[in-house]
Amino acid sequence: MYAVIKTGGKQYKVAAGEKIKVEQIAADVGQEIVIDQVLAVGSGAELKVGAPWVTGAHVTATVLAQGKHDKVRIFKMRRRKHYQKHGGHRQTYTELQIGSINA
């Protein structure tokens, strides 16, 4: 069984037992959270699609870690204008262990 969930403005296809990294969620490590924004639930050839959410469906997940991704380097330059600008960014994430999918 799998589900398509929405969290942090992005969509993820998840199954029970998977580990995923999503945009940061305000939760402690070890805490169990419930994601109720389920767009679709599928099992084999059967697929239930919501409009926009599947009613009564939710996914439970456990927070494994909070962290930051690798640094993204930003470099801007205008040739022959003596303009160079350096920057960087590290996006925060929450690592989740998907527990169960309830349709």
CB 96 within 8 A of CB 64: yes
Averaged pLDDT, 54-81 = 97
Instruction: Please classify residue 31 by burial: count the beta carbons closer than 10 Å to its beta carbon, then call 0-12 exposed, 13-18 middle and 19+ buried.
Output: exposed
CB 82 within 8 A of CB 61: no
Other Cβ atoms less than 10 A from the Cβ of 29: the count is: 11
Burial 50-72 (b: 16+ CB within 10 A, else e): eeeebeebbbbbbbeeeeeeeee
Structural domain boundaries in the chain: 2-102
pTM of the predicted model over 0.75: yes
Burial 77-89 (b: 16+ CB within 10 A, else e): eeeeeeeeeeeee
| Residue 21 confidence class, pLDDT cut points 50, 70, 90 | very high
Share of the chain above pLDDT 70, in %: 100
| Residue 103 confidence class, pLDDT cut points 50, 70, 90 | confident
Q: What is the mean pLDDT of the chain?
A: 96
- Bridge partners for 63 per DSSP: 96
At 1, list the tokens.
Answer: 């069984």
pLDDT exceeds 90 at position 24: yes
Q: How far apart are CA 18 and CA 47, in angstroms?
A: 20
